[in-house]
Amino acid sequence: MEIQKKLFELQDKEYAEFQSKLTPGIPGEAFIGVRVPEVRKLAKSYSKDPECQEFLKELPHQYYDENMLHGLVLSEMKDYDDCIRAVDLFLPYVDNWAVCDIMSPKVFKKHKEQLLEKIREWAASDLVYTCRFGLEMLMSHFLDEDYAPEYLEIPAGVRSEEYYVNMMIAWFFATALAKQWDTTIPYIEGNRLDTWVHNKTIQKARESYRITEEQKEYLKGLKR
C-alpha cells in the first residue's frame, strides 16, 4: 500500500525499539518507527488525499504507525458527523494508550452539546480504549468554561479492573482538582473512587504545579 511505503521512508529503527518499550502488549514487529512530528506532518497532507478515505476503512491496520496516522487524520477532519462516524469505526481497533491519546479532533470544540452525549456513550463502554477516549475528551473539553459539576459523575461512575482506564480516571480527577477544586474535592473527601484510583488521584494532584502547597498537604491527609 502506498501509505505504508511513505511510513517506511520515514522509518527510524531505534525509535521503533524505544516506542515498543513504552507500549506494552504490542508486538515489536508492529512498530515501523516513525517519530510523532513526522506522522503529524504526514497526516496533514494525507488527509487531503482521496486515497485517505479508503485507508480509514481498511481496518485493522498492520502497523502501530498506521494506527497513529489514522488517529491524527481523524483529528484533522472538518465535518463533525463524518468525524464521529470515523471515530466510532476506529475505536474498537485501538489497542494501546498512545494511539488512544493522540486522537483529539479539533472539530469537537464547535459541537460541545452533541459531543457530551457521545462522551457518555464512550465512557460507558466495556472496551478499554473507547472508555479511556471518552474520559479524555471529557477532561479536554469540559473542565474549563463548559464545566458543570454534574459532569464529574461520568468518571466517578466508571468501575474497571483495567489499568489504562483507572489511570485516566485518576488523571481526570487530578486535573479537575487543579481546575475545579471546590466541586471536585468532595469526591475525594467522600471516598467516591476506588481505593487505587483515589490514591493515584492524590499522587498526581500533589505532583501538579497547579495545586497549592496547602491543597497538597490537605490531600496528603486524605490518602487511604
pLDDT in tens, the chain (224 residues): 689 999 999 999 999 999 999 998 899 999 999 999 999 999 999 998 989 999 999 999 999 999 999 999 999 999 999 999 999 999 999 999 999 999 999 999 999 999 999 999 999 999 999 999 999 999 999 999 999 999 999 999 999 999 999 999 999 999 999 999 999 999 999 999 999 999 999 999 999 999 999 999 999 999 99
- What residues contact 22, with CB distance under 8 A and at least 6 apart? 98
Per-residue cell: 213: 502547597
Query: What are the backbone angles phi and psi of residue 199, rounded to the nearest 5°?
Result: -70, -35
Residue 190 vs residues 38, 142, 169, 198: alpha-carbon distances, Å: 46, 22, 16, 10
User: Tens digits of per-residue pLDDT, 4-33?
Assistant: 999 999 999 999 999 999 998 899 999 999
Amino acid at 145: E
pLDDT digits (tens, 9 = 90+) for 119-140: 999 999 999 999 999 999 999 9
Count the neighbouring beta carbons within 10 Å of the beta carbon of residue 20: 17
In the chain, what are the domain boundaries?
1-109, 111-224
The fold for domain 111-224 equals Leucine-rich Repeat Variant (1.25.10)
Is the separation of the CB atoms in 62 and 70 below 8 Å? no
Query: What span, in angstroms and rounded, lies between the C-alpha atoms of 80 and 107?
Result: 6
* Closest to 203 in 3D by CA, of 194, 186, 216: 216
H helix intervals, 1-160: 2-9, 13-22, 36-46, 51-57, 64-76, 80-90, 97-102, 112-123, 128-141, 153-156
